[in-house]
Amino acid sequence: MSRSGAVGRPAPWRDATRSLSAPLAVVDLDTFDINARDLIARAGGTPVRLATKSVRVRQLVHRALDVHGFSGVMAYSLAEALWLAEDGISDVLVGYPSVDTASLVALASNPAAREAITLMVDDVAQIALIERALIRAGSPGGPAVQVCIDVDASLRIAPLGLHLGVRRSPLRSPADAVALARAVERTGRVRVRGVMFYDAQVAGLGEAGLRGVGVRILKRASLRELAGRRPAVVAALEEHLGRELLVNAGGSGSVHEVAADPTVTEVTAGSGLFCPTLFDDYSGFTARPAAYFGLDVVRRPAARIATAFGGGYAASGPPGTDRLPRAVDGSLLLRSEGAGEVQTPLRYRRGHRVPAIGSRVWFRHAKAGELLERFDAVHLVRGERVRETVPTYRGEGRNFG
């Protein structure tokens, strides 16, 4: 169970980072590397594509690719994809549809970028935007614009009117996918490269507490449904197009289940490199936290309360306490304040040492790459030493939304 590896003290680098100003972010390279090897092993020989939104540090993206053998990246915006392609990454799948006109024209104008980048589509309106971009770019020759068809992988229970999963693509059936592929190929300048099925209700749901039993039942039901529908969609597309396709699926929480499907040609993972708190309760793998941030105590307003500077780094998604950062020393956020923009009070239980003013408290974020949108740099640590300080996307002046 992942719970055994989820709580720990980032003590080895405490002294090495003492002179660095807080708030500060660190990534433990030893744990990052272990997590990378674990993801590759869990995939069982199926190529693993790196989800860059879960990392947002260019040096760590290259580490996953060049050191650990991840196969290409999944970018979260077309502007980011163009930047990564310029940086030498030759296989960039954009995970979400783009209506960024300037970036679409930049892609259409650049044959090398069209070779490297694959867009995500689930609607004919998106195809029309690509065609307009090609016209605005002067209808250049060279390779076709590549697209991947996003097929809804949520679980629907029709008798109960339930939709379990995220709201992404409107496409579900083989007929839906083939109809869009037909519209793509009709252009003559846009080509279907692959199809994606992102099972958020399997990959992104922890199994903590009383709801854990229900979540596990949901995951098994969803995997069974996809095991029948996904091959049918892929077979229909490949028969219509007359060629084999890239078939992308999964996330850090479902790599091992999804990779077992012979229809799938690659899985995507990223959050599993950092293992934020939302990954603490999965039955299928061990979460080893690799990313932390440190805040300094600036007040002692009561006997068992220490107040740290900064820390209001709430994660995206449905509001709740599970989206807030968690201190690794066992202290608790105050319900009345939570994690604040300029101060974060922490309550300590009786018998626990309350840190003094000037002490540093370490936290974990609820999600992976989102943390690093708050920092210009991240300190890469190994054992007791800071090995390197590198810029985040933000530190390189790259904000992709």
Q: Tell me the pLDDT tens digit for each residue of 244-268.
A: 999 999 888 889 888 989 999 999 9
Contacts of 214 (CB under 8 A, 6+ apart): none
In a domain, 384, yes or no: no
Range of the domain at 61: 28-272
> Based on the domain organization, do 256 and 312 belong to the same domain?
no
> Based on the domain organization, do 146 and 254 belong to the same domain?
yes
**What 3-state DSSP class applies to 41?**
helix
Residue among 108, 56, 117, 118 at smallest CA distance from 89: 117
> Based on the domain organization, do 329 and 246 belong to the same domain?
no
Contacts of 308 (CB under 8 A, 6+ apart): 295, 296, 297, 298, 343, 344, 345, 346, 361
In a domain, 18, yes or no: no
List, for residues 159-171, the tens digit of each pLDDT value.
Answer: 666 667 678 889 9
Query: d(Cα 214, Cα 156) in Å, to the nearest integer?
Result: 16
pLDDT at 211: 62
CATH classification at residue 179: 3.20.20.10
Q: What is the mean pLDDT of residues 216-232?
A: 80
Instruction: Supply the DSSP string of 203-223, one letter for each residue.
Output: HS----STTHHHHHHHHHHHH
Task: Check pLDDT > 50 for residue 7.
Answer: no
In a domain, 123, yes or no: yes
> Based on the domain organization, do 37 and 78 belong to the same domain?
yes
List, for residues 76-116, the tens digit of each pLDDT value.
Answer: 999 999 999 999 999 999 999 999 999 999 999 999 999 99
> Based on the domain organization, do 268 and 318 belong to the same domain?
no
**In the structure, what pLDDT confidence band is assigned to residue 1 with cuts at 50, 70 and 90?**
very low
> How many structural domains comprise the chain?
2
377 phi/psi in degrees, rounded to 5: -140, 155
Q: What is the mean pLDDT of residues 325-351?
A: 95
pLDDT at 214: 60
Q: What is the pairing mode between strands 291-302 and 24-28? A: antiparallel
Q: Percentage of residues in the chain with pLDDT exceeding 70?
A: 91
| Residue 74: count of CB within 10 angstroms of its CB | 28
Helix axes 174-186, 124-136, angle to 10 degrees: 20
User: How is residue 379 written in tokens?
Assistant: 């300190």
> Among the listed ranges 26-35, 114-123, 195-204, 306-315, which one has the minimum average pLDDT value?
195-204
In a domain, 258, yes or no: yes
In a domain, 361, yes or no: yes
Rounded to two decimals, what is the model's pTM? 0.91
Task: Check pLDDT > 90 for residue 187.
Answer: yes
> Based on the domain organization, do 101 and 199 belong to the same domain?
yes
> Based on the domain organization, do 313 and 257 belong to the same domain?
no
